[in-house]
Amino acid sequence: MSARTILKLRVASDAHVANDIAHAYDRAGARYLDYADGMAGDLFDFGGRYCYGDRRIWQAIEAKLVAFAEAGHRRLVVLDAGCGPGTWLRRVVTRAHLLGIPEICATGFDISGEQIAIARLQAGTLRQLPGVRLRFEERDLITPLVEEDGSVDLCLCLNGVLNHVSAADRVRVAAELARVTAGKLFVTVRTTGSQPSIFIDRVDAAADFRHDDRTDRLEIELRDGHHVEFDLHLFHASEVRSLFAPHIEITRLSGLDIFHSRFAPDPRWNPAEGAEDAAFHHDLELLEQTYAADPHFIDHATHVLLIAEPQQIMER
């Protein structure tokens, strides 16, 4: 089955693409949107099989937005570094607008031109809301950010974007994200002990794949016959802390989805769950909260979540 794409010419040719990460996400097209964010039309539907981590991330982001609005701020500046199809930025803009923040300046950028095209299409009428300035740009995270020091109220770098950054660039990228952040920085990365992923699509879209942790390289043979490979580093939580601690104050470092995905039923195998499972899910949530920062478990989470803010905010 061919990829559903917006930039038809970008993916129709097998001509050499200098950046293999951009090439992989360009080729994935709208399949990546379905895989990463689900096919539901509701931006705030976190009820899917693998949505536990997204739900927890959104709870933290929403709390920041509510506090920002309640403090009487009239202008919100948001940056989503590696925004993909723009789902997280659309969530933030939608909620901020509903909270009554009168001026919202939101920028998302990504290395994949195809994902940026999808993001612009998905934004639709959201960009027409009064007081909203929402734009999507094709940029590479390893180049210096164009944003000024301390100019961003809410800075996002989610869904394993940093997993694609080479060792030579990681320290500089972390420093840049910290440099532009005036409010809160949210980062998620895939961990060394997480369950397998091919990043660009569901695992069952691959006929075979292999990650080499010595070279930080992921090679994928897709069922549609295409071969895809790109840089991919899986993180220990301690690495994430070491990257950001010199530049910004870390307020939270925890694992997301240590247990939920491993206990989630598969419709191809297990019967559907019903309301009678509420007690089980309550206990599962307690397990997540208990072991989220435990050094024996955190590296087995699907993602590690880092929340950080500048030191001067911490001292207030």
Q: Could you write out the DSSP letters of every residue in the chain?
A: -PPP-SSHHHHH-----S-HHHHHHHHHTHHHHHHHH-S-S-TT---STT-HHHHHHHHHHHHHHHHHHHTT--EEEEEEET-TTSHHHHHHHHHHHHTT-SEEEEEEEES-HHHHHHHHHHHGGGGGSTTEEEEEEE--TTSPP-SPTT-EEEEEE-TTGGGGS-HHHHHHHHHHHHHHEEEEEEEEEEBTTSPP--SSS-GGGEEEEEEETTTTEEEEEETTS-EEEEE--PBPHHHHHHHHTTTSEEEEEEEE-SSHHHH---TTTSPPP-GGGHHHHHHHHHHHHHHTT-TTTGGGSSEEEEEEE-HHHHT-
Per the prediction, the chain carries an average pLDDT of 90
For the full predicted model, state whether its pTM sits above 0.85.
Answer: yes
Residues in the chain with pLDDT values less than 50: 1-18
Return the bridge partners of 212, or none. Answer: 217
Which pair of tokens denotes residue 195? 């369950």
For 47, other C-beta atoms within 10 Å of its C-beta total 11
pLDDT at 15: 36
pLDDT for the residue numbered 294: 97
Residue whose C-alpha is closest to residue 232's, from 191, 262, 203, 201: 191
Query: 307 and 185 in contact (C-beta within 8 Å)?
Result: yes
Q: Length of the chain, please?
A: 316
pLDDT at 50: 72
Q: How far apart are CA 281 and CA 27, in angstroms?
A: 37
Residue 154 in contact with residue 78, Cβ under 8 Å? yes
227/205 Cα distance (integer angstroms): 12
Contact 25, 115 (CB under 8 A): yes
Please give the pLDDT value at position 281: 84
Give residue 203's pLDDT: 94
